Amino acid sequence: MQDHKLKSLRQCDHWETRVDLAAAFRWAARLNFHEGVANHFSVAVNDDGTQFLMNPNQSHFSRIRASDLILVDANDPETMHRPDAPDPTAWGLHGAVHRRCPHARVALHVHSIHATVLSTLEDPRLPPIDQNCAMFFKRYAIDTEYGGLAFEEEAERCCEYLSDPDKQVLIMCHHGVMVIGKDVADAFNRLFYFERAAETYIKALWTGQPLRVLSDDVAEKTARQLETYPEQAERHFAELKAMLNETEPGYAT
């Protein structure tokens, strides 16, 4: 009976993509990137990116399974009237991303601690003070116009910043961060390293010592090298899934 159930689940639409996104939720919880039952991830599943999978309303990242994910359409005005309607801010933010930014196949929004601290600074830029920080040199945008929860009007404005394919991270001042990518592995790898980079920078500021910032030329060279590093995101994410398969295999059901 259990094998039959699992076989039926694997016949669901976009099953491997569901498994990858569920793994991202579980690891975000493990890394303390979650915010209780808030925050949201999505992945586009059609050619123009307007249909996407996302987490159900008010579900903790640590419990989300592949079969829990809901499929929505960014162009469907009836979405919030569905019995399984998503969180209103999740619908606003991710609907806007997937309508405006077809290159953003995956969108991960969190209030992770160090990225959020960065977003509260008077100057929220991330200078290239180490290799991880250099990874994001000229590859992020900053939204300084926080106007409340990311309902539709606020969300549409936020997502204008991600319309440039060269900007794959949005620092949302007073709010958190949005990271996009070509697939779940790519986006989650970027989220992981952005949080690590923000942590390094915030802790460097704590010392009160002058910062040794890389030159623009070296920072850009480093960013390009990391962008083309062979299979780094794919192998990182494969290892994360392998650990889940050993300890939390229920994510893939």
Domains and CATH numbers, the chain: 2-252 (3.40.225.10)
CA-to-CA separations, 38 to 34, 42, 61, 112, 236, in angstroms, rounded: 7, 14, 9, 12, 25
Instruction: Give the three-class secondary structure for 80.
Output: helix
Cβ neighbours for 5, distance < 8 A, ≥ 6 positions apart: none
- Among left, alpha and beta (phi > 0; psi -120 to 50; other), residue 137 is beta
Nearest 5°: the CA angle 194, 199, 200 is: 100
Average pLDDT on 138-166 reads 86
pLDDT at 9 over 60: no
pLDDT at 169 over 90: yes
pLDDT digit string (tens) for 69-94?
999 999 999 998 999 999 999 999 99
For residue 95, the one-letter residue type is G
pLDDT digit string (tens) for 192-242?
999 999 999 999 999 999 999 999 999 999 999 999 999 999 999 999 999
For residue 70, the one-letter residue type is I
pLDDT value for 156: 83
CB 120 within 8 A of CB 203: no
The first and second tokens of residue 36, run together, are 């209780």
pLDDT at 171 over 90: yes
CA-to-CA separations, 240 to 54, 97, 192, in angstroms, rounded: 20, 26, 12
The first and second tokens of residue 144, run together, are 């300084």
pLDDT value for 12: 67
DSSP letter at 38 equals B
CB 67 within 8 A of CB 9: yes
The first and second tokens of residue 48, run together, are 């123009």
pLDDT value for 2: 44
Half-sphere exposure of 197 (CA within 13 A, CB side): 25
Average pLDDT on 100-127 reads 97
CB 33 within 8 A of CB 191: yes
Mean pLDDT of the chain: 93
Average pLDDT on 175-197 reads 97
Of 119, 105, 115, 245, the residue nearest 193 (C-alpha): 115
CA distance 2 to 161: 46
pLDDT value for 6: 44
pLDDT value for 148: 77
pLDDT at 248 over 50: yes
pLDDT digit string (tens) for 45-68?
999 999 999 999 999 999 999 999
CB 163 within 8 A of CB 101: yes
